[in-house]
Amino acid sequence: MFSWKHILFFFGALVFSLLINSIMLRFVRTLGIRNQAEATIRWSDQVKPALGGLGFYIVFLLSVTLHSFIFSYSGKTIDFQFTGIVGATSLGFLMGLADDAYNTRPVLKFLTQLLCSVILIYSGTYINIFESNLLNYGLTIMWVVGLMNSINMLDNMDGITTIVSLVISFTILFLMLINQEVETIGMTVVIGLIASLMGFLKFNWNPSRMYMGDTGSQYLGILLAAISINYLWNPVTTEEFSLSRQILIPLLSFVIPIVDTTTVVIKRLRKGHSPFVGGKDHTTHHLSYMGLTERQVAALVALISIVSSVIVIYVISNITVWSHLYTAIFVLYFLIIFGVLFRIANKNIPEE
The full set of domain ranges for the chain reads 4-345
Give residue-wise pLDDT tens across range 23-60: 988 876 555 554 444 444 455 556 677 788 999 999 99
Q: What is the pLDDT of residues 161-175, one digit of tens each?
A: 999 999 999 999 999
Q: How far apart are CA 59 and CA 95, in angstroms?
A: 18
Contacts of 235 (CB under 8 A, 6+ apart): 175, 179, 316
Rounded to 10 degrees, the C-alpha dihedral 201/206/210/214 comes to 80
For residues 87 and 122, the answer to whether their CB atoms sit within 8 Å is: no
Q: Is the pLDDT of residue 75 over 50?
A: no
Residues 218-246: tens digit of each pLDDT: 999 999 999 999 999 998 777 788 999 99
By the 8 A CB rule, do 32 and 211 touch? Answer: yes
- Report yes or no: 156 and 42 within 8 Å, Cβ to Cβ: yes
Instruction: Supply the mean pLDDT for the chain.
Output: 89
- pLDDT single digits (tens) 81-113: 999 999 999 999 999 999 888 888 889 999 999
pLDDT above 60 for 272: yes
Q: Which residues contact 1 (CB under 8 A, 6 or more apart)?
A: 177, 182
Contacts of 285 (CB under 8 A, 6+ apart): 43, 156, 157, 351
CA distance 116 to 92: 7
Nearest to 226 by CA among 145, 316, 149: 145
Q: What is the pLDDT of residue 100?
A: 84
More confident residue, 267 or 173: 173
**Mean predicted confidence (pLDDT) in 270-287:** 81
Q: Which residue has the higher pLDDT, 38 or 140?
A: 140
* Upstream peptide bond of 207 is cis (omega within 30 degrees of 0): yes
- Cα–chain-centroid distance for residue 245? 21
**Residue 9 predicted with pLDDT over 80:** yes
- Which residue did the predictor score with more confidence, 314 or 239? 314
CA distance 167 to 193: 11
Question: Which pLDDT score, from 0 to 100, does residue 254 have?
Answer: 98
